[in-house]
Chains A and B, each alone.
Chain A
Amino acid sequence: MKNVQKQKRANKSLPFFFRDEFRVSLIIILISLALLITTFTFDIVPPILNRGIQPATFPKALLVLIIVMTLLIYYLATKNPWKIEKKLPRSFFLTLSSFVIFVVVSKSLDFFLAISALSIFVSYCWGEKRLFYLLLVGIIFPIIVFIFFETILGLRFPPGIITNIYYS
């Protein structure tokens, strides 16, 4: 409890644009505004087909509600600041970047290869150095999962370098 109070006090001493509550509120409001502008591009239904309200009205109302409530949480946070979160470690950014690598590899090369690469990469970054376990999570287990899904659900995975070899 004391620790939380300390973190809150430390947060209060920061300039407002460095505080989490400001940055989080700003991001939510900017995204909501962008989406709100998008709603003005939605097609308008002629009155004869319109049932109740225009298709854009409901999302518009939701976005305005989100913006208003975000302003409210920011206002409340100026009185009672959020606690400062710890800095994210390197392993987090490596895991996050592995998600990006997964998207790129699954789109350009192969779905199986992407799963395999991510599994080995994450396991290694999280401290696993033993080759057998890296092979287990990166190759043996994904193969079992692939065969399991294919046999039970009759699933066909997207084409790619390795998947094509398997299917042919």
Chain B
Amino acid sequence: MLAPLFSSKLLLVLFFGTLFGLILGVLPGLGPTTGGALILPFTMTLDPLSAIVLLTSIYCAGTYGGAITAVLINTPGTPAAAATCLDGYPLAQKGEAGRALGMATVSSTVGGIFSVVILVFFAPILAQLAYEFGQPEYFALAIFGLTMLASIGEGSPIKNLIAGAFGILISTVGKDFMTSIDRFTFGINELTEGIGFIPVVVGLFAMSEMLTQSTLINQVFNRIALKAIKLPSKDDYKKTWKTILRSSGIGSFIGVLPAEGGTVASLIGYSEAKRFSKNPEEFGKGSIEGIAGAEAANNAATGGAMVPTLALGIPGSATTAVILTGLIIHGVRPGPDLFREQPDFLYGIFGAMLIANILFFIFGFFGAKIFARITLVPNKILWPMIFAVSVCGTYSLNQSIIDVWIMLFFGVLGFFMRRYGFSVVPVIIGLILGELVEGTLRQSLVIFDGSWLMFFTRPIALTFFILSLIALAFPLIRSRKLKKK
């Protein structure tokens, strides 16, 4: 598994990817999704394996990096670290920041490595199953993915569905790929090629965050001093090993589902840790189990989210959508054929994720104090710099100024979407799945001679439709149960 990585160039890429991912994770508002999107143009100078190794190492390290800020300044560096704040910061306030970060580092590493094992075993099995899939099955699967995203993603399921449908709608802009007819181009030549993925991602994540930060310029963060990270004591290990394993399993499973990956995984991991704990009253007041539950789950989601991305070409999270774009840009088509034709490439990715998990453990353990200092860079200096990089990064992919304007437009849109409770993640997933949804629907209708009912004669497609209905009904059942209680 590690053999394809034994080259000094790849190890160097892995080293810098992990380092860069940690820095992105530590900075509130940035994260592996935005960072991955910004670094994507630079991957064009690399070979495909190095490019994907860079993106995956950013993904793994960035997910962990959010914990440092969550513990020290009570602000999650990434959304996936939101649950870590609940107990990480109170524990740090008690003068045990080192212990909190030590547990976060160990549980993140265990969760991450656990999920890589899941990835190695389950991705080939899923890919093998995918050989049975035709166009109708892929259509049903994409619909299932979008409904799952709506039902278990953050916030209102209906708002998530609207956002997902909007993402698919964006993918229809430009020349229709089957008939070459212009759609929503409004006479603008640059739009005939469609709306690019990078301007939308950078706009929805980085620029909307810049606008959010503009509303918080008077906010003062109380940063807790960190002397050194402490490895968990024997007693801590005894208390948390079951929680870490449980959350690793939960995180990997949630990651496989096309939802919001680590964010949802960490919340479920945290609440399950509380449910199983002998001391649930300690949660929210600095429970070491709470930190372990949230951190193991969010890092376990990274490997889980890579399973459908590599095996089916359907992203499990926003960051894997960026990785999927990276694969496509480099001419690698994810799906079952990838497992048969390029096993070395895949094992290179698996190995890179494994090493990235070990590397961020080392970097986190020895360098958390330095990374914590990055949070001291004031927003009034940091965000104009991020703006310059975002603008140049977006421009660089197609050398188009229109892309930069599109990025700004989506920045404003993303800000208002978030303000009124619409998650931006479904837009990204909808955009990347849009062509698949429309293409497979139209090709299926050609196969079925225009009969919609024929979808229900295919057992796998029917199963996915039933699962989609269950996914849609799930929030309704959940809210009724809560009301009864």
Contact = CB atoms under 8 A, between A and B. Distances in A.
B11 to A, nearest CB: 20
A49 B215 contact: no
A69 B426 CA distance: 15
A113 interface: no
A106 B404 contact: yes
B184 A118 contact: no
Contacts of A50: 179
Contact of A127 (B162, B207, B217, B441): B217
Contacts of A119: 384-385, 387-388
Given A69-B161, A69-B162, A153-B44, A136 B399 contact: no
B448 to A, nearest CB: 9
B458 interface: no
Contacts of A152: 42, 45
Contacts of B165: 62, 65-66, 69
A96 B399 CA distance: 24
A127 B393 CA distance: 26
A51 B446 contact: yes
A162 B395 CA distance: 17
A125 B444 CA distance: 55
Nearest to A70: B162
Interface residues of B, number: 61
Contacts of B179: 45, 49-51, 55
Given A66-B165, A99-B408, A115 B396 contact: no
Interface stretch (B168-176, B246-254, B461-469): B168-176
A12 B125 CA distance: 52
Taking each of A66, A70, A126, which has the highest tally of chain B beta carbons within 10 Å of its own beta carbon? A126
Given A73-B156, A103-B405, A149-B392, A28 B169 contact: no
Nearest to A154: B45
Contact of B380 (A126, A141, A157): A126
B370 interface: no
B419 interface: yes
A126 B156 CA distance: 33
B387 A115 contact: yes
A16 interface: no
B231 interface: no
Given A62-B165, A92-B214, A107-B401, A155 B384 contact: no
Given A51-B446, A107-B401, A141-B388, A89 B215 contact: yes
Given A115-B388, A128-B380, A153 B161 contact: no
Contacts of B399: 155-156
B412 A158 contact: no
Contacts of B391: 115
Contacts, number: 163
A138 B45 CA distance: 28
Interface in B441-485: 441-446, 450
Interface residues of A, number: 67
B159 interface: yes
B161 A137 contact: no
A91 to B, nearest CB: 5
Taking each of B41, B45, B162, B172, which has the highest tally of chain A beta carbons within 10 Å of its own beta carbon? B162
Contact of B183 (A59, A85, A115, A149): A59
A103 B395 CA distance: 13
A140 to B, nearest CB: 10
Contacts of A145: 388-389, 392
Interface in B27-57: 41-42, 44-45
Contacts of B156: 73
B383 interface: yes
A104 to B, nearest CB: 11
Given A55-B178, A123-B384, A153-B41, A66 B169 contact: yes
Contacts of A120: 384
B307 to A, nearest CB: 28
Contact of B176 (A35, A55, A91, A157): A55
Nearest to B401: A158
A150 B269 CA distance: 45
A73 B380 CA distance: 37
Nearest to B430: A62
A115 B156 CA distance: 37
Contact of B184 (A35, A146, A156): A35
A52 B446 contact: yes
A85 B380 contact: no
Nearest to B41: A153
B169 A62 contact: yes
A95 B261 CA distance: 31
Contact of A126 (B217, B385, B393, B441): B217
Interface string B162-200: 100110110010001011011110100000000000000
B205 to A, nearest CB: 16
A62 B399 CA distance: 31
A76 B446 CA distance: 39
Contacts of A158: 401
16 contacts: A43-B181, A51-B179, A52-B442, A55-B183, A92-B215, A99-B408, A103-B408, A118-B387, A119-B384, A138-B384, A141-B388, A142-B388, A149-B392, A153-B42, A153-B45, A156-B399
Given A59-B184, A126-B217, A138-B384, 11 more contacts: A42-B181, A52-B442, A55-B183, A92-B215, A96-B211, A115-B392, A118-B384, A120-B384, A122-B214, A133-B380, A141-B385
